[in-house]
Copies of this chain bind each other. A is one copy, B any other.
């Protein structure tokens, strides 16, 4: 961004005496929908159990207040992701801003929501300051919407804190809409520097929630990614159960 330069003395005086408190200000938070895939290629989300009021003991997505003046919103989101999961340099993109005045009973809170896509082995989950617990939940669906579950517990979408149900729904919908023309899926790979076509296909299947035909998936992968140079063929194979699979590397741009 270009830097702003004062040009006149009048302006310098104005800025010096500007009363920043003339408008009542809302609190601003960066909230993050952290998504990953487990070993069965099921979509998982990181939820924290709130340690304080409001919504004490409710499960919520992690988030934190923007420290105005010290950081940008993007940086606040990255900081929150780091404190909660100990990871850095992963897919983290702004999703939407939620500004309903009643969404938080304390005061007006404007939340800028982000989506993070993380390979599961990179996650090092910690409960942050304001959380008594933090866990991954499998996301499943039934007639009433999303169900979040793991070995210990199961919660339904309407049992989440604040309007986090709405935020999560938007994150998943957005991801599903973007997957055919954006490179998002690569960020969920175990290792985007060395992966097979089948691994990538399973990610697409999870996000689209339907099975795909491997030969056809392969064809479009070769056309849209390998032929265009977005992905390079490593000329190596990986042996597993059936015929060895060729390995590819995603090129970040």
Give the number of copies in the complex: 2
**A103:B1 contact, CB within 8 angstroms:** yes
State the CA gap A158–B4 with chains docked (Å).
12
Q: Does A55 contact B (CB under 8 A)?
A: yes
User: Which of A63-71, A80-88, A118-126 makes up part of the contact surface?
Assistant: A63-71
Tell me the interface secondary structure of chain A in the complex. loop
CB contacts (< 8 Å) of A20 on chain B: these are 27, 106-107
**B99:A74 contact, CB within 8 angstroms:** yes
Number of chain A residues whose Cβ lies closer than 8 Å to a Cβ of chain B: 52
A25-B25, A53-B14, A54-B11 known; A69+B108 contact, CB < 8 A? yes
Out of B53, B68, B102, B166, name the residue touching A11 (CB < 8 Å): B53
Q: Per-residue 0/1 for A92-112: is the Cβ within 8 Å of any B Cβ (1 yes, 0 no)?
A: 001011011111111110101
Q: Does A28 contact B (CB under 8 A)?
A: yes
Nearest Cβ on chain B to A181's Cβ, whole angstroms: 9
Nearest Cβ on chain B to A111's Cβ, whole angstroms: 10
Nearest Cβ on chain B to A235's Cβ, whole angstroms: 35
**B163:A73 contact, CB within 8 angstroms:** no
A94-B97, A163-B1 known; A110+B27 contact, CB < 8 A? no
**B54:A107 contact, CB within 8 angstroms:** no
Out of B15, B24, B104, B105, name the residue touching A53 (CB < 8 Å): B15
Name 5 interchain pairs, CB-CB below 8 A, sorted by A.
A4-B162, A14-B52, A15-B106, A66-B110, A76-B99
